[in-house]
Amino acid sequence: MRTSLAISGIFLALVSAYLLLWPVPVEPVAWQAPVDRGYVDPFAPNTQLKSATGIDLGDFEGPEDATLGRDGRIYVTTDSGSVIRIQNRGVSEFVNAGGRPLGIETDLDGSLVIANAVLGLQRIDRDGSITVLLDEFEQQPLKNANNLGIGPNGVIYFSQSSTKFTADGFGGSYEASLLDILEHGGHGNVYSFDPASGAATRLATGLNYANGVAISKDGSFLLIAETSEYRILKHWLSGELQGTTEVLIDNLPAFPDNIKSGLNGRFWIGFAAPRNQLLDKLSDKPFARKIIQRLPAAVRPKAEPFSHIIAVNGDGDVLMNLHDPDARFPTLTGVLETRDALYLTTLFGNRLPRIKKRDL
């Protein structure tokens, strides 16, 4: 009996020591999460996305972002590094960009610009040739480039989600994002890059997982998704407020991911997952969050299945709020709007959801 108690005591002591002392990569910072109002108006659940169907991508997985090419085809970034193109549901590889391409936009000349989490900013010409536009800033490698928008003057605006937790250093962009969100250390940035002059400028810093970036049609402002603050920022590029950043929408019910300019002044936002009650509850308890990181990966907070996108205008008004309560296509990262359809990009899986506008 005494032997069993001694063994149990030693075991409990080892477990306690592990949970309290084992080194982990995060150094959580105390903050105060806003009270989660849940899915209430203007974000109330509905069934608007139930008619979406998936385009089978075959062996290509993780369609993170998409753009409409000048040739009328849809170009999509994938987890393998491939940029694929889709026409009439036919799927083929256009080029393998290497690394992990995330954000993608069509430039004024018809080329594609990619925010690559491993390799920086890339340009893909229409013949498939690849050029690195920017792979360092202030003599530091540019890691975790995530999303981008291109202004009417050709300037590229892009996010760097985290300077600490990089996709190639922590097992992938999703795995790195979980660490950055748990730490809440303000490692994110947003930059401008002028391909004509080669000049890069940091526009915003100290962001908690800088994610989606989209620019207004007139080039006067950017919208920025600050994922782990549950909010959308507005950064002014011109006018009396030039250079300032304000909160456009706060206390969102989920983690905002990509932002993409749509038609008629719309900006589309994808939500990767609902907020996590445990993370919110422990926002002001950094030591407890550090213990969480020492738990087995299977029981740590992760993205829960949900399907939710919204469209907003430049004033932050919610114009459209679309859900699928069955979460047939979970972990939505964003939306590409064309004249007749919405293409819903996702972090996982080998299907690209598409919904016809006439079905909304």
All structural domains of the chain with their residue ranges: 60-359
Residue 162 tokens, joined: 């985290």
What is the side-by-side strand order in the sheet with 82-87? 66-68, 74-77, 82-87, 90-96
**For the segment 253-304, what is each residue's pLDDT rounded down to a tens digit?**
999 999 999 999 999 999 999 999 999 999 999 999 998 898 888 878 888 8
What was the pLDDT predicted at 271? 98
Residues of the chain scoring pLDDT < 50: 10-11, 13-18, 20-21
Q: Which residues of 225-237 are buried (b: 16+ CB within 10 A; e: fewer)?
A: bbbbbbbbbbbbb
CATH number of the domain located at residue range(s) 60-359 in this protein: 2.120.10.30
**So what's the pLDDT on residue 92?**
97
Q: What is the pLDDT of residue 15?
A: 43
pTM of the model: 0.94
d(C-alpha 274, C-alpha 286), whole Å: 21
Measuring CA to CA, which residue among 156, 166, 117 is closest to residue 133? 156
Rounded Cα gap, residues 301 and 293, in angstroms: 9
